[in-house]
Amino acid sequence: MGSTRFGGLLGPVSGDAEVDAALDDRALLAALLRFEAALARAQARVGVLPADAAEAIVAACVPDHYDADDLGRRAAGTGAPVAPLTRDIGARVPEDARRWVHFGATTQDVMDTALMLLAHRATGLVGRRLAAAADACAELARRHRDTPMVARTVGQHALPTTFGLKAAGWLAALDVARARLAAARARLAVQFGGAAGTLAALGEQGTAVLAALAEELGLAAPSLPWHTDRTRVHELAGALGSTVAALGKIATDVVLGSQQEVGELAEPTGGGSSAMPHKRNPIASVRVIAAARRTPGLVATLLAAGLPENERATGSWHAEWEPLRDLLHLTGGAAGRTAEVLAGLRVHPDRMRANLDLTGGAILAERVTGRLADTLGRAAAHDLVAELARTAAERGVPLREVLLADDRVNLAKADVDAALDPTTYLGSTGAFVDRALDEHRRGGGDE
């Protein structure tokens, strides 16, 4: 039956079995044949070719009749597998039907449409995985709406926040990515323009065949052929790229939170090490990050291919085939893996609270400054608290101790204690979580 592009030693590491099955060589061959069969049916509906010829062509378009590896070898001489495939289809139909095989179409019509069919199927599967990941984020945001933790900026402790807000941030990005991907999916269109985008071989029936072909295949019907208008491919590439970036952000946070010295998060299952028996690596997130490192180059390649010459390009659309499938492959793997991680993510509120207290109250310095600013002025209060925070760090004592011992701090003990309570300096975190959850419930990102 031929090779499967995403199998072997490395394919399963970065992909998702079901998504990959929608993208591999078997799926591509089936999509090429689906185009040829649908074209025959559409032309018979319009009256371009005899019904019995269409039936013969459809009967010949069975994937098991053809070998993808053999077609690939023969494609080396034509630049695409379409020419050898249509020749083989012709050999399987009666002689009087052969002239109607691939009638009015060109190789780019078949390849572009086949890739759109693969993308349509794959993005539907990806969308379901993204929905599962988003739902898992929503559950984490609900459950941990008020769970305090450290917000880190530029790699350092900044202010108190909540894990619910972190999860809500993941959720909001995923919902935007889902909506963008759904919009790009809806734009995936059939390609049918013939040799030069005019459908001259079909005379005045060209547009009717185009509409019937789109209906047969379940793709959008474009207003005109898009041989040299690659915006659909670019929109899809951009949506996939930003989706993997959103997934990579989640994976990065999980990896950082899983470090032993942080200990706030853990994947539901960990990967071992070939050398160190004690290791429990966040390997699923690591694989998502690997996908996020690879996708920008693929997106860039697809954009760079968007400079076709005249009415049919010399190589630009050929350059899209492999990067587009690779991009869908990586997105499928990243989406599925993230959904699994989030569904079983282990959250440790006790470590989050312990890390909040790690700086001995220095994380609340901004709040203390605000309390002192009423009497000292903003600048003087800032400088004083900065000085005392440095003193506390150098002496290895809590900021509270230094504040209470300094006569310049005109705050009562109860006021100092209140100012240094991280659970009461969370601002609008709860409201932001609620807003993200409300938007998600209203169907953010639904296809």
C-alpha distances out from residue 432 to 164, 251, 346, 402, 428, Å: 9, 22, 23, 34, 6
Listed residues 320, 353, 386: the one ending a domain: 353
63 with 210, same domain: the answer is yes
Whether 310 is covered by a domain: the verdict is: yes
pLDDT at 272: 54
- Cβ neighbors of 110 (< 8 A, separation 6 or more) are 32, 35, 36, 82, 102
Predicted pLDDT at 2 = 41
Q: Are residues 408 and 328 in the same domain?
A: no
Any catalytic annotation for residue 73? no
- Based on the domain organization, do 302 and 368 belong to the same domain? no
Residues 249 and 337 in one domain: yes
- This prediction's pTM: 0.93
In three state form, how does the secondary structure of 316-375 look? CCHHHHHHHHHHHHHHHHHHHHHHHHHHCCEECHHHHHHHHCCCCCHHHHHHHHHHHHHH
Residue 6 falls inside a structural domain: no
Listed residues 330, 353, 376: the one ending a domain: 353
243 membership: H or E segment, kind and range: helix 231-257
Give the model's pLDDT for residue 1: 40
Tell me, yes or no, if 14 is annotated catalytic.
no
| Judgement on whether residues 267 and 413 belong to the same structural domain of the protein | no
pLDDT at 154: 95
Backbone angles phi, psi at 159, to 5 degrees: -145, 170
Which pLDDT belongs to residue 271? 61
- The answer to whether position 256 is within a domain reads yes
Q: How far apart are CA 128 and CA 369, in angstroms?
A: 48
Q: Name every residue whose Cβ is closer than 8 Å to that of residue 155 and which is 6 or more positions away in sequence.
A: none
* Encoded tokens for 280: 């429990």
- Token match 């006790």: residue? 350
Residues 348 and 377 in one domain: no
Number of domains in the chain: 2
Q: Please report, for the domain that includes residue 402, its CATH number.
A: 1.10.40.30
* Residue among 420, 425, 412 at smallest CA distance from 362: 420
Residue 14: predicted pLDDT: 85
Task: State the pLDDT at residue 13.
Answer: 83
Residue 445 is assigned to a structural domain of this protein: no
Give the CATH number, domain containing residue 118.
1.20.200.10
Q: Looking at the domain assignment, is residue 430 inside a domain?
A: no
Query: Annotated catalytic residue: which of 312, 325, 367, 400?
Result: 312
Q: What is the pLDDT of residue 278?
A: 61
Which of these is catalytic: 73, 99, 143, 273?
Answer: 273
Quick check: is 443 in a domain? no
Residue 440 lies in a domain: no
Residues 392 and 346 in one domain: no
Are residues 127 and 73 part of one domain? yes
Task: Note down the domain range covering 292.
Answer: 11-353
CA distance 351 to 353: 5
**DSSP E strand boundaries for 82-210:** 148-153, 156-162
CB neighbour class for 91 (10 Å; exposed up to 12, middle 13-18, buried from 19)? exposed
Per-residue pLDDT of the chain (447 residues; tens, 9 = 90+): 444 578 777 788 888 999 999 999 999 999 999 999 999 999 999 999 999 999 999 999 999 999 999 999 999 988 999 999 999 999 999 999 999 999 999 999 999 999 999 999 999 999 999 999 999 999 999 999 999 999 999 999 999 999 999 999 999 999 999 999 999 999 999 999 999 999 999 999 999 999 999 999 999 999 999 999 999 999 999 999 999 999 999 999 999 999 999 999 999 986 655 555 565 788 999 999 999 999 999 999 999 999 999 989 888 999 999 999 999 999 999 999 999 999 999 999 999 999 999 988 999 999 999 999 989 999 999 999 999 999 999 999 999 999 999 989 988 999 999 999 999 999 999 999 999 999 999 986 554
